[in-house]
Structure 1
Amino acid sequence: MKIYYYKSAHGNFGDDLNAWIWDALLPGFFDDNENVRVSGIGTIITSAMPPAKKWYVFSSGVGYGYPPANFGDSSWETLCVRGPLSAEILGLPKDKFITDGAALLNTLTEFKPLSEAERKGVIFVPHHHALVTGQWEKVCQQAGVEFVNPQSDAKTVIQKIRNAKLVLADAMHAAIIADAMRVPWVPLITSSQINTFKWLDWTQTINLPYRPTVLGSSSLREYLRDKSLCIYGEKYFLPDSDVEFAIKYFKKQRELKNKKWWGRYQDVTQLVSHRIPNKGVKVVEDVFNLNLNDRFIDNASRILVNAKSQSGFLSENDKFNSNLDRLLNGIDRLSKCK
């Protein structure tokens, strides 16, 4: 039985933790048999999933595209999905969602939550896409907040979260892991690419609202990229959205992107609206040694300073522990599937 998860070319801690958490939970259980697969932590239930004779779904989520064409037939067993929005899209009953599987980090000795007295400092964990054109390390330096690179080793990032007093989270798994470590977290938005559907899918499982603070862009190139996202279908942030609207928007976008012409359209519009302007600005900055980002850095820094003064969100202990017990029961069921 082999774990399936998304592997970013540059690394992303929320996905990369799949490489070792399952062996820690079920030592010696998994192998490289690709005939039997387990979909792990992440937004990975899509048509890109590889074929297998048997699939087990455990705490995975929906957020992009359609599931495999044969999803739900006898070759699939869904132990649980991440949240109610994933369950709705997949046509599953309500008892089939629990919460994101990263909550299971709480059960590992290496990541045992620390007392408040043992924790210190405020950290900011951006979405890995924010590193492409952003200047978030400079924003953090100006705001007096520790910048944590989401492409760093997963255990290093998790320990940073575990030891913080407050986590400012653009990356959803920064908030999920902070909640698992019982560390307050503040949801932030660096761009319209942050996926409201995914965040609601998780926050609904811990009975908390999703009310993110919009940071805006940290550079001119990031600003231009953000404004182009809606043109080529990468805008996922839905301000003040409720669950019903998020589901409707997801279905509408999914249907649009399944059109035969969409791939070509996306390639052309992304080239014209993002890649060429982005390259042009970078060339101008480099050739003329210009700094076009100070205004963006100053503005984002002011908002980040305000964000670090917030008390943050944290799920109720009873709700968190109830979800954790259900996940552990699911792990026990998975252990009997081999």
Structure 2
Amino acid sequence: MKLKIFYYKSAHGNFGDDLNSWFWDALLPGFFDNNEDVRVSGIGTIITSAMPDANRWIVFSSGVGYGYPPTNFNSKSWETICVRGPLSAKILGLPDDKYITDGAALLNTLTEFKPLPESERHGTIFVPHHHALVTGKWENVCKQAGVEFVNPQWDSKIVIQKIRNAKLVLADAMHAAIIADAMRVPWVPLITSSQINTFKWLDWTQTINLPYSPMVLGSSSLREYMRDKFLHIYGERYFLPNADVEFALSNFERQRKIKNSKWWGSYYDLTCLAFHRVPNKGMRMIEDGFNINLDNRFIDNSAKILLQAKNSSGFLSDDNKFNDNLERLLGGVKKLSKLR
């Protein structure tokens, strides 16, 4: 019996998801194929009702962050080796021994991505969430702050090597921080918009005994500012300032109940069109048609905060805690390898 890895595939690419395409074969060569009867849910926030049907599901380090799990989750056809963190375990009704940490920590065990000594690492990089590319001007911000911009839509191995070779990683994308921690590179959590998901970040940071205290960069363009202001109207506001675990859990359950209402789909389409797509297109046409720049003030403000982040020491999990998590993940890989 062989198994097929399931993960989220962004139409434009996203390194944190795309690493699934080669990562598992590197861990267990020849173990996986395209047999859709048995699926393994890999790295990412993918435990939702949108998961495809399979005769058997095996969960390894995946997370919760949006919506409900499949209706038959935890039935005999499901085997959970581990989930990403305690918030995922709580929502899924799993005991505490069923969470470890995000599986991307296992990159640390691959020869190609062996952590480098600090003396061989150079510079500061910024990795935005892939949604920040839609309306943001983050390359301009980075240039002004003297920080290297790393596009999250680049090939995942290129992004990981950029992280591995940096002295400090400024992370709007959660997997930039997760991979930096795996490479033993200090990282700083940042917020480009209220679409950044506090629940997901807490799910991970709780597993490494660190707080989630992000620096808010603000918007880098007028279009990004307008988009951010209306995210709450169509349910895309996931940032919860100063939230603790209990509030994040209760807010998650409340929001997913609303979004499961029969009217939500039509409401979302209408409000997203009215408050994002149409205004965004209109502002872009005005900027292009009249050749005007409305973004300099936003770029200046974000660059100042990015520069502050660049000059901070950053976070890094304790070596003993990281190694303990890694040992448990390797135990999970061994268990997975026996499920043929």
Q: Calculate the TM-score normalised by the size of structure 1.
A: 1.00
Deviation (angstroms), 1:9: 0.3
> SS of the residue aligned with 1:57?
strand
Deviation (angstroms), 1:190: 0.1
2:206 to 204, 208, 214: 204
* 2:119 aligned partner: 117
Aligned residue type for 1:91? G
Deviation (angstroms), 1:170: 0.0
* 1:227 aligned partner: 229
* 2:60 aligned partner: 58
Aligned residues: 338
* 2:107 aligned partner: 105
Aligned residue type for 2:279? P
* 1:72 aligned partner: 74
Aligned residue type for 2:181? D
1:307 to 304, 309, 322: 309
Query: Following superposition, which runs of at least 4 residues in structure 1 exceed 3 angstroms of deviation?
Result: none
Deviation (angstroms), 1:86: 0.0
Deviation (angstroms), 1:331: 0.2
> SS of the residue aligned with 1:230?
helix
In 2, the alpha carbon distance for the partners of 1:16 and 1:47 equals 21
Deviation (angstroms), 1:320: 0.1
> SS of the residue aligned with 1:326?
helix
Deviation (angstroms), 1:115: 0.3
| Alignment of 1:253 onto 2:294 | no
* 2:133 aligned partner: 131
Q: Deviations over 1:1-39 (max 9, x none)?
A: 100000000000000000001000000000110000000
* 1:192 aligned partner: 194
Q: Within 5 Å, give how 1:1-338 maps onto structure 2.
A: 1-338=3-340
> SS of the residue aligned with 2:75?
coil
In 1, the alpha carbon distance for the partners of 2:17 and 2:258 equals 27
In 2, the alpha carbon distance for the partners of 1:18 and 1:286 equals 38
In 2, the alpha carbon distance for the partners of 1:279 and 1:262 equals 24
Aligned residue type for 1:175? A
Q: Deviations over 1:76-129 (max 9, x none)?
A: 000000000000000000000000000000000000000000000000000000
Report the RMSD for the aligned CA atoms in angstroms.
0.3
Q: Deviations over 1:194-244 (max 9, x none)?
A: 000000000000000000000000000000000010000000000000000
Deviation (angstroms), 1:262: 0.3
Unaligned runs of 5+ in 2: none
In 1, the alpha carbon distance for the partners of 2:291 and 2:34 equals 51
Percent identical among aligned pairs is 77
> SS of the residue aligned with 2:194?
coil
Deviation (angstroms), 1:280: 0.9
Unaligned runs of 5+ in 1: none
In 1, the alpha carbon distance for the partners of 2:312 and 2:134 equals 28
In 2, the alpha carbon distance for the partners of 1:282 and 1:234 equals 21
Deviation (angstroms), 1:75: 0.1
In 1, the alpha carbon distance for the partners of 2:66 and 2:72 equals 17
